[in-house]
């Protein structure tokens, strides 16, 4: 297996959004592009995400949009800004997808699902001559060639440029298992950790009747991070966008607090709660005086007992007792991956020329709400353009 058996101009490893975007950009530049996907079908995680409504991006001012990604090098922020919410929306419309923007700024295709968009996108890639190989699992390098395990046996592919887009280390059943990390140069990969993950909580039997109930109208605070999103009481803890937004701070060890009445201050609550309740039960008193519905009362009972005499401060800052985030494979996304300092500003790996890394393979994270997909598309586009320029600026017979 010393001689390469396929020699496209460009190789993309991974057929998720980042990889497909890189493939399209390079094909439009005139390169012969091969996309190698380890699973039987492309973009499985995108399709799964689209089952509950494909959140493409977040329509908001650029400064606020970039803030959601946390601390990043300026050059990486520029990559995200160059293909931000407006550009993502134009791209989706170019695939024939009418869009709508929800009240929170989240942008969705009117069809909601990912499958119509993906079907058109794959057809457009095919028209550009992009070749998709399925069940080709990348297993590292042999010299300058990428090595694959395929249904037809081992294969070597030595292109002019390579874009790695193999995802993070969550949702193993959909193809993102992080196994590629073992083949990366030493010191270039930060350890994986769960991101956008639920909290593990061991409930008492009294919580059984609340399983599946949404919790609304709260504010979650972990250090300087505040979330007003909803979440759900699940059998094994707390899940949902409100929890995901604070998961990074929680993972880093910051205590988590619930404000069950975020639109009322302590003094107002204390005054309301001090009114005589007569024969009303405590549950009815909390509902009438503090506006706490059954779900928020369940939170108060789970994390606040035994109750102090003065309930108002507890309602405003209820400490959430938990056992940490859900395991890595149950997280929506992961932190960790290829360190940004191991790349140049074109996302090319230092020490391995002509190899670019994009999408969730990179060590960045963001909450759900369209930020994840936007960044995958932006990094795929950026690396694809840089790789295409590099490949077309050299003699046609020169390899990496």
Domains of the chain plus CATH, in order, are 10-192+331-392 (3.50.50.60), 199-319 (no CATH)
Q: What is the pLDDT of residue 395?
A: 63
Q: In what order do the strands lie in the sheet with 355-357?
A: 131-134, 33-37, 10-13, 161-164, 355-357
- Provide the mean pLDDT of the chain: 94
pLDDT tens digits along 88-128:
999 999 999 999 999 999 999 999 999 999 999 999 999 99
Q: What is the pLDDT of residue 4?
A: 43
pLDDT band with cut points at 50, 70 and 90 for residue 6: low
pLDDT tens digits along 297-341:
999 999 999 999 999 999 999 999 999 999 998 999 999 999 999
Question: 35 and 133 in contact (C-beta within 8 Å)?
Answer: yes
- Percent of the residues in the chain that have a pLDDT greater than 90, as a whole number: 91
Q: What is the pLDDT of residue 396?
A: 54
Can you say whether the dihedral through the CA atoms of 293, 294, 295, 299 is positive or negative? positive
Question: What is d(CA 311, CA 320) in angstroms, rounded to the nearest whole number?
Answer: 16
Q: What is the pLDDT of residue 308?
A: 95
**Residue 399 pLDDT greater than 70, yes or no:** no
**Residue 1 pLDDT greater than 70, yes or no:** no
Q: What is the pLDDT of residue 172?
A: 84
**Residue 398 pLDDT greater than 60, yes or no:** no
pLDDT tens digits along 327-385:
998 999 999 999 999 999 999 999 899 999 999 999 999 999 999 999 999 999 999 99
Can you say whether the dihedral through the CA atoms of 222, 169, 124, 399 is positive or negative? positive
């Amino acid at each position: 297996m010393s001689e390469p058996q396929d020699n496209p101009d460009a190789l993309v490893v991974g057929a998720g959004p980042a990889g497909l975007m890189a493939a399209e950009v390079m094909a439009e530049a005139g390169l012969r592009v091969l996309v190698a996907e380890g699973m039987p079908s492309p973009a499985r995680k995108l399709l799964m995400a689209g089952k509950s409504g494909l959140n493409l991006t977040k329509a908001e001012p650029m400064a606020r949009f970039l803030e959601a990604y946390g601390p990043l090098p300026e050059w990486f922020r520029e990559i995200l800004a160059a293909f931000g919410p407006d550009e993502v929306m134009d791209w989706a419309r170019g695939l024939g997808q009418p869009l709508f923007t929800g009240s929170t700024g989240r942008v969705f295709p009117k069809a909601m699902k990912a499958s119509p968009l993906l079907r058109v996108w794959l057809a457009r890639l095919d028209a550009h001559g992009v070749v998709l190989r399925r069940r080709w699992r990348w297993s590292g390098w042999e010299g300058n060639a990428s090595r694959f395990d395929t249904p037809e046996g081992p294969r070597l592919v030595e292109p002019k440029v390579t874009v790695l887009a193999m995802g993070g280390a969550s949702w193993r059943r959909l193809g993102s298992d992080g196994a590629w990390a073992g083949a990366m140069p030493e010191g270039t990969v930060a350890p994986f950790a769960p991101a956008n993950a639920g909290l593990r909580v061991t409930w008492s039997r009294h919580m059984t009747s609340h399983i599946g109930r949404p919790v609304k109208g709260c504010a979650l605070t972990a250090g300087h991070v505040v979330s007003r999103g909803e979440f759900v009481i699940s059998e094994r803890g707390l899940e949902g966008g409100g929890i995901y937004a604070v998961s990074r701070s929680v993972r880093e060890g910051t205590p988590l607090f619930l404000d069950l009445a975020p639109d009322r201050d302590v003094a107002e609550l204390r005054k309301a709660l001090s009114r005589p309740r007569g024969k009303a039960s405590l549950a009815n008193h909390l509902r009438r005086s503090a506006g706490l519905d059954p779900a928020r009362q369940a939170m108060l009972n789970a994390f606040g007992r035994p109750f102090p005499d003065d309930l108002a401060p507890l309602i405003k800052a209820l400490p959430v007792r938990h056992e940490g985030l859900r395991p890595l494979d149950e997280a929506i996304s992961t932190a960790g991956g290829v360190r940004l300092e191991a790349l140049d500003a074109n996302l090319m790996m230092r020490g391995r020329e002509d190899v670019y890394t994009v999408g969730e393979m990179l060590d960045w994270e963001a909450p759900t709400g369209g930020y994840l997909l936007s960044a995958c598309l932006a990094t795929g586009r950026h690396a694809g353009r840089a790789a295409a320029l590099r490949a077309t600026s050299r003699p046609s017979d020169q390899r990496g």
